Structure 1
Amino acid sequence: MAENLEQLVRWVYDKPLHVRPPLGKRPAYLDGDTGPQLGSRTVFRRATEAMRTGREGGGGALDDALGQLAEALPQFALTKPVEGPVDDAIVATIERMAGVRAEFEELVKVACRFSPTEESGTRLHRFFERILPLYEAQSGSGSYGNNDFDAYRFLGWELFLAAVAIALKSGAFAIARELFVRPYYNASVSYRGGTPMQGAPAFNREVDSLESRNRRLDLKKVSLQAEIAKLRTDALGHAFVDLIQADLLLFLRSQVVPTGYHAVWYPMTLVYANQHGPLETFARCISRQHLSRILELIGGPEDAVRSVITESQQGSGYGFGRPKIPVLAAVADWGKMP
């Protein structure tokens, strides 16, 4: 009875026994832009699960997930006007794109492990064809600056290198072959009077704003682009050496099979290569069977590839000295075993 009387008195005088705590600080995501969205996680999970279980329709599910990623990329376009140095804006955009690489790499890993087929390679190839137009202004796109597309050029280069690295590490040579050998259609090149069919070096374009940043901040980095890629790879818990060997393989192919427009693949990650001995995929070339697979990707006979490796030791290098490519490629041991 006494307890009920106290509750009545507190109610009359508006002095409740249990006081509701004040609301905390309003969450930032309620007050503005939530940032670029990469699409439904359900679509992503459906693709990875379908490939893992071998369920019918796994290829279509991979297409859906890759298409969703590609459709999200225009959200990262540089917003005008840019306040402050443009390289700050480019680096900030590259940082915001970290989720794209993480999600893309997961899809590639699952495809290389559970569906390492030419069909999967073709689907990845189509995804990369959707990235190339983002490298530059399209017809009728209006005014633009020289650095407006640098974040996309970094991302395209990084994703392509990562896809090749994962395919090589997984032994998914059918996927690697599709990425290496099949040319890419780029309508924006045709618009400028060039041939629209391009090789893999089309993804290896200069990111001028990063070099400008290197000079402006006196960072003294041999390759700021390679350093950012390494930091992102380390953050994902992956081995950067896998990207190095993919980079070297793409360089060798560009020397053996020139493609004309943007014909050379500059192996920027090799700035970190001198701390390594023979790279795994090249060390395995001691097996004649493995060597034949690698030569197929490079696109030339063994003598021609050996010649390119020898010539690579001449000159001043690629802005960071001359990496010891014969050592990295383990060329002295090629084909010694069946």
Structure 2
Amino acid sequence: MPTTTDAPKVFISYSWNPPQHKERVIELAKRLSNDGVHVILDVWDLAPGQDKHSFMEQTVTNPDIKKVLLICNKSYKDKADGRQGGVGTESLIMSKEVYAKADQTKFIPLVFEADEQGEPCVPTFIHSRIFFDLRETEEYEDNYEQLIRNIFDKPIHARPPLGMRPSYLEVETPSTLPTAHRVAAIKRAFLDERRNAPLLVKQYYNAFLEALKGFEPQPEEFTADNFIELTLNKIEQSKPLRDDFVLFLDTYLDTAPEFDQEALQDFLAELVLYLNAKAIQGFNQDRINSLQFDYLRFFVYELFLYFIAILLKREKFQILAGILNDSFVVIQEQERADARVEDFRVFSSYNATLNKHQNEKFKMNRVSVVGDNINKRASNRYTFDELKQADIILHHLSELEGFIPLASSRRLWRPETAAYNTYTLPIFAKMVSLRYFDKIKVLFNVQTKEELVNLIRTIESDHHVQLWHRSDYYMNREIPLLSRAIDLDKIATLK
């Protein structure tokens, strides 16, 4: 219960006429006091012999007085407007305060009476002020509560705390991109449960592919003298599109009641077809014509890392397993009858412009210039460590016999970011939890801990896998074997 020293102080200005009105004012003052308000009232605080005008002036202008409650009835209005008696004196003092400080909320009219036309009896100098209606009506209790809340600064409709600005504002998506503003529309559609929301998602995929095609260079642009610079420029120009896709996927996962796996896989299939037609088919790392789409190689590799990092962080392992198990049919343009089947490893291919030509021309002596760029370009939404973890996990999953359709070819996922030392993989470390293992085991295509342990030991006994992990490609920075990244003895031991 507040004391008189910490309770909010209010001064009540009122007319003594008629007598029953004065009694109502005193009853209000008593109730306010019972509710923790320190009320200054003449009948309680004006001592005999004290100058009442001085008392009123000191009270009204006292900064310790939080509120001045003006009890408005017909008598109070008439005396204030006519500057009569004590009310007239108070109104003169208060009007100076009100007009001098037009934005202040210290003076609050409380309406006790209306005139013959039903209009509140409020003095002219505060006529435009918002008032509390305390006439004896059914709304009295609600209005009294609002008054108390006002005095204690506890409104019913309080201003909500200031949050973070919308994440889509962080994405610098040029308005000329076909994807511009589509994410916000998708979010609204799912939140409003509109039937066209899934269609908007498919339209986004199509718009994204069109936007990506918009970065295609003209063959005559690339020369032996400028192809490195132009590749780097294309990579930088495509960054807003990457960030827009990250925002799209985050928004989609946040708002959609169901995730359309088939639509996503169709989108990735189209992306693979475009990648193959432009950057893979007939590739020669020493021909300028082949190198002009190395920006695309970089883009899809980086984009796929973000895609995997998002799903891993959100523990969307079922969606992720579906993508990693998917096959993409690619038909060679010159041999349309001869189809080739690819899997997720198609998104990881050697980038000669960065890792070879730029590295050699500028004597950079870098393990992976691609990895350097991914590190430098890491977004605010997902860290480089999260991308690196996704990269190495993709490498390990590409090792697993029977999991990947083309595992026998031994074309492993090349984790460019592994050029940076990796000491732990948090996602694998969490597999000590039985609950977590039951969720993530779908990635390894196993049902039990024993199946996974046997699978890992079989894979690591393979001569080709051992050679990869001892490769000097990463200058002796070994990618940790799965048996080191995962403590096999502790898998699913904690409930």
TM interval, shorter chain, is: 0.7 to 0.9
- 1:337 and 2:494 are equivalent in the alignment: yes
Compute the displacement of 1:228 (Å): 0.7
The alpha-carbon distance between structure 1 residues 102 and 220, as it changes in their structure 2 partners (threshold 3 A), is same
- 1:125 and 2:265 are equivalent in the alignment: yes
Hey, which of these two has a bigger chunk of helix by percent?
A: 1
Over aligned residues, Cα RMSD in angstroms? 3.0
Compute the displacement of 1:54 (Å): 4.7
User: What is the aligned length?
Assistant: 298
Corresponding residue to 1:200 among 338, 344, 352: 344
- 1:287 and 2:433 are equivalent in the alignment: yes
The alpha-carbon distance between structure 1 residues 334 and 193, as it changes in their structure 2 partners (threshold 3 A), is farther
Q: Partner of 2:238 in structure 1?
A: 97
**Residues in 2 aligned to 1:190 and 1:179: alpha-carbon distance in whole angstroms:** 28
Q: Partner of 1:231 in structure 2?
A: 376
Q: Partner of 1:72 in structure 2?
A: 211
**Residues in 2 aligned to 1:135 and 1:208: alpha-carbon distance in whole angstroms:** 16
Compute the displacement of 1:137 (Å): 3.8
Q: Report 1:235-274 matches (<5 A).
A: 235-256=379-400, 257-260=403-406, 263-274=411-422
The alpha-carbon distance between structure 1 residues 63 and 333, as it changes in their structure 2 partners (threshold 3 A), is same
**Residues in 2 aligned to 1:262 and 1:36: alpha-carbon distance in whole angstroms:** 43
Compute the displacement of 1:332 (Å): 4.8
| Conservation of the 8 A alpha-carbon contact between 2:297 and 2:349 | yes
Q: Partner of 1:88 in structure 2?
A: 229
The alpha-carbon distance between structure 1 residues 98 and 262, as it changes in their structure 2 partners (threshold 3 A), is farther
Compute the displacement of 1:40 (Å): 5.0
Percent of paired sites with the same residue: 19
Point out where structure 1 has 5 or more consecutive residues left out of the alignment. 1-34
Q: Which amino acid aligns with 1:94?
A: I
The alpha-carbon distance between structure 1 residues 253 and 130, as it changes in their structure 2 partners (threshold 3 A), is same
Q: Report 1:69-218 matches (<5 A).
A: 69-81=208-220, 82-83=222-223, 84-115=225-256, 117=258, 119=260, 121-137=261-277, 145-188=289-332, 191=335, 195-211=339-355, 212-218=357-363
TM-score, with structure 2 as normaliser: 0.54
Secondary structure, counterpart of 2:292 in structure 1: coil
**Residues in 2 aligned to 1:308 and 1:190: alpha-carbon distance in whole angstroms:** 37
**Residues in 2 aligned to 1:329 and 1:189: alpha-carbon distance in whole angstroms:** 43
Hey, which of these two has a bigger chunk of strand by percent?
A: 2
**Residues in 1 aligned to 2:360 and 2:418: alpha-carbon distance in whole angstroms:** 21
Point out where structure 2 has 5 or more consecutive residues left out of the alignment. 1-173, 282-286
Q: Partner of 1:38 in structure 2?
A: 177
**Residues in 1 aligned to 2:315 and 2:333: alpha-carbon distance in whole angstroms:** 33
**Residues in 1 aligned to 2:338 and 2:395: alpha-carbon distance in whole angstroms:** 22
Q: Which amino acid aligns with 1:220?
A: N
- 1:317 and 2:482 are equivalent in the alignment: no
Compute the displacement of 1:52 (Å): 4.7
The alpha-carbon distance between structure 1 residues 285 and 109, as it changes in their structure 2 partners (threshold 3 A), is same
**Residues in 1 aligned to 2:226 and 2:390: alpha-carbon distance in whole angstroms:** 33
Q: Which amino acid aligns with 1:187?
A: I
